[in-house]
Amino acid sequence: MPSPNRFVAVALVAASALAVHAAGTVRVVTKDPAGSPVPDAVAYVQALDSAVEVHPPAEPVAITQHDQEFDPYVTPVVVGTRVVFPNRDNVQHHVYSVSPAKKFEIPLYIGESTATIVFDHPGPVTLGCNIHDWMVAYVFVLSTPYFAKTGADGTADIAGLPPGRYRLEVWHPRLAGKVGREITILESGDTTQVVSVTLRPDRRIRRAPDAGSADYK
Amino acid sequence: MGSTGPRLPQFRRFGTRLLLLIAGLVAAAQCADYLFVRRANRANALERINESLRQGTLLFTKRVDARLDELSGRAALMSDDYSIRQLFLKEQPDPATVRSALQSYSVRMGVPFMALLSPDGQRIGDTGGALPGAALKPFQDLVKVAETVDDPKAKGFARLPPDGAGGKLYALLVVPIYAPKPEIVAWIGLALPIDHTFATELKSDAQLEVTFYYGRGADMQPVESTLQEGAAKSSAPPSVTEGIMTVGVGGESYVTAYRPLLPLITPGSASIALQRSLEAELAPSRQLERFLLILFLASLAAAALIAPVFALNLSNPLRALARHTEVIAGGDYTSRLRLDRVDEIGQLATAFNRMSEGLAERDRVRDLLDKNVSPEVAAQLLRDGGALGGEEREVTVLFVDLRSFTRLSESMPPREVLTLLNRYFDRMSGIVEIYRGIVDKYIGDAIMALFGAPVEQPGHADNAILAALEMKSALARLNAELTTEGRAKLSFGIGINTARIIAGNIGSSRRLNYSVVGDGVNVAARLQDLTRMSQFKADILVSASTLRAARGRYRVRDLGAAPVRGRDEPVEVFSIEGTE
């Protein structure tokens, strides 16, 4: 097995060369069958010609809980990323996942949790809270550094791609079927990919009206 | 024999006919009534049963659905349970822990069997016990169904275990375990037994017998039943998968609704049979029918009793009338029919009595006529209805009067006077009739006779003269008899006159006499008076008009004109001495 460090070195050299000379950007435009944009989709590309090493960020990524919801709803991270779950509510939460990519739980806590979870396997991870059934969020663990999340307009820009062949994929918590295609990044520059995404119905639990809300006091 | 065709039975007695008629009508009406009520009761009972079978079928579906919904709710609570998630936090859950956890849950939910399946339908664990692992197949089939629907759960009926003997019916349910929703991390499978308890509860709510059948193909066997086991087995297995029909169970008729248990996950077929005994449903109506039957027999008996009485009431007076008719036919008009009733028969009797009176009256009148008037007058009276109009015609009137009879009668007892007189009248009247005259009336010891009335006769004058001569001979014979008897002789005088006079019924409207009036009658009477004149020495005096009218030849002595009382002119008088 080649030394990871050497791969990283090669990649960095290549990346910096491309970055200097010709770094491409893929604009992914998601549309559902009705033509509406699909937010919270993770668009990512896998290099087909060479292996690209991923480096988790130095600082942990935060998925906060406030107003008894996870924020953000979808968090794409690379393998090895550390995630913290700060609780900004005045009630305790009990964050857990039983997904094969990462099974964990952080027993009841409030405030800044000391627990840092390392997402060390690629794949979707569904987060829940044992106290609040409606709370749901997703961590999508990637083995590629080239990814972006669609905004409200349904577009995501994956930047800094060296020229070459890639496999473009889109993931969404309610994705009905796999969406993927091969794309080629040329030295000349950017490309736009329109991807049709079919989603399953949203079956998230409707949150119960908060009887204790300040609005009613 | 054999030549006569079919004919209606003839009854000699009216009562028999009436009895048969009334009894027949009563029987027909009551029989129709009974049959109609019986039919209506049966139709009503069938309708009621059909309705309760429909309700029962709905109730069964509702009960199963309600129980499964309740279990589904409990399973949802269970799937949100913290402890169940703990199982899935492990890389490989401990099988013994999973089993004991599921056993706890099955107790909480009140179901005998639970299974936990992975999202792709693989077994994670189950409660074990009575159901072996093979029982998982139906749950796996249900998972495949549940995956395809929006609300991911599925239910169906199954026999567990599907193979081998001793399988029992269950309603199965699979519901998802979310961690969190909508992420399905496992499926829970539950089995609700469709057992005897279930059947008994359904029976108590629906008031219907409940039997569950299961079989492969046509070979359906009862697996649970509220009927006696023998009865359920003897009951014909469903020949239809769905529908209502009447089947015999242990000698009773049960209206049965079959409905397949759908969907059935395991191979074969299963159905529920809801039944109610037609006899039991009809039991209250039977009481009414029995009452109607008694009423039927009672009214038939009443009709049988009343009809003869009624018939006698009608036939007795009719027979009495018949007898009475015989009596009248025999000539007895005096007897009267006494029927104490005012109806048509009473009126008939009254009419009969009036008829008797009428006949008696007619008889009496005829009798009186016969005795009091000459047969000719009587016949004419009867013929002309007693309204003899007056008519003028030529007749010969003859008066014959006994001489010195008043003196004679004073020396005799009255009875003998009458006997003698009648004896004399009998002879004289007979002679009048022989000569086709009629005795118009008896006036004391005198006879007034008419010739030529009321029936016209050409030789009335001759007849009168001949009758007078014959009377004279008859008187001689009577006197010979009287001499022999030692009595005094009789002598008479006869006056005859022929004249046009008026003949007809004379009298008041109440009493009429056929007679003649006119001067000619007086002349005849006066001529008779003249015979008393000693100078004439004659017993028979006739007028000239009589001689003119007579065609016969007589020895006549002309006595010349004689004055007649009541007439201005004297009358020529002739004495008839005999015939030539």
Residue B424, CA distances (Å) to B82, B413, B437, B448, B511 in order: 162, 17, 17, 14, 28
User: Does A154 share its domain with A194?
Assistant: yes
Mean pLDDT within A128-146: 94
The answer to whether position A205 is within a domain reads: no
Domain residues for A46?
1-52+146-200
Whether residue A189 contacts residue A22, with contact meaning beta carbons closer than 8 Å, is answered with yes
Residues belonging to chain A with any Cβ–Cβ distance to chain B shorter than 8 Å: 94, 96-99, 103-105, 126, 128-130, 133-136, 174, 201-205
Report which residue type is found at B111. Answer: V
The per-residue pLDDT for range B424-448, each reduced to its tens digit, is 999 999 999 899 888 888 888 899 9
Residue-level pLDDT at A88: 93
The CATH number linked to A167 is 2.60.40.10
Inter-residue contact B284 to B267 (CB < 8 Å): no
Alpha-carbon span B30 to B303, nearest angstrom: 12
Sheet bearing A116-119, strands edge to edge: A61-62, A81-84, A116-119
pLDDT for B282 beyond 60: yes
Q: Distance (Å) from the C-alpha of residue A24 to the closest C-alpha of chain B? A: 36
CATH of the domain at A77: 2.60.40.420
pLDDT of residue B368: 64
pLDDT at B559: 85
Could you give all domains of chain B from N- to C-terminal order, each with its CATH number? 43-280 (3.30.450.20), 331-371 (no CATH), 374-579 (3.30.70.1230)
- Establish if A101 belongs to a structural domain: yes
A32 and A72 assigned to the same domain: no
Q: Which residues of chain A does B153 touch, with a Cβ-Cβ cutoff of 8 Å?
A: none
Nearest to A109 by CA among A160, A65, A52: A65
Same-domain status, A152 and A82: no
pLDDT reported for residue A19: 44
Let me know if residue A206 belongs to a domain.
no
On whether both A103 and A41 belong to a single domain, the answer is no
User: For chain A, what is the total number of helices (H) and then of strands (E)?
Assistant: 1, 17
Query: Which DSSP state fits B213?
Result: E
pLDDT digits (tens, 9 = 90+) for B535-567: 878 889 999 999 888 888 898 888 888 887 777
At A20 the pLDDT is 45
A64 and A115 in a common domain = yes
Same domain for A162 and A134: no
Mean model confidence pLDDT for chain A: 85
Confidence band for B1, pLDDT divided at 50, 70 and 90: very low
**Interface mutation target, options B79, B91, B175, B181, chain A, most CBs of A under 10 Å:** B181
Q: Are residues A81 and A39 in the same domain?
A: no
Mark whether A96 and A156 lie in a shared domain. no
Across A26-35, B220-229, B258-267, the highest mean pLDDT is recorded for A26-35
pLDDT at B383 > cutoff 70: no
Q: Does B180 touch chain A (CB under 8 A)?
A: yes
Identity of residue A170: V
Least-confidence region, from A125-129, B423-427, B451-455? B451-455
pLDDT-derived band at A181 (thresholds 50, 70, 90) equals very high
Q: Chain A: nearest CA to B158, how far in angstroms? A: 30
Within a domain: residue A209? no
pLDDT band at B385, cuts 50/70/90?
Answer: low
CB-based contact B180 A126, cutoff 8 Å: yes
Is B181–A133 a contact, with Cβ atoms under 8 angstroms apart? yes
User: Where residue A168 falls among pLDDT bands split at 50, 70, 90?
Assistant: very high
* Ranges of H-type helices in chain A: 4-21
Q: Are residues A79 and A106 in the same domain?
A: yes
Torsion (CA) B221, B226, B227, B228 in degrees, nearest 10:
90
Residues A106 and A128 in one domain: yes
B260 vs A204 pLDDT, higher one:
B260
Q: Is residue A19 part of a domain?
A: yes
pLDDT of B365 above 90? no
Average pLDDT score, chain B: 84
User: For chain A, what is the domain count?
Assistant: 2
ipTM of the modeled complex: 0.77
* pTM assigned to the model: 0.60
Nearest CA in chain B to A128: B180
Residue B234 is predicted with a pLDDT of 65
Three-class SS of residue B412? Answer: coil
Same domain, A123 and A59: yes
DSSP 3-state assignment of B163?
coil
Q: Which residue has the higher pLDDT, B395 or B568?
A: B395
pLDDT at A83 over 50: yes
How many beta-carbon pairs below 8 A join chains A and B? 45
B529 or A39, greater pLDDT? A39
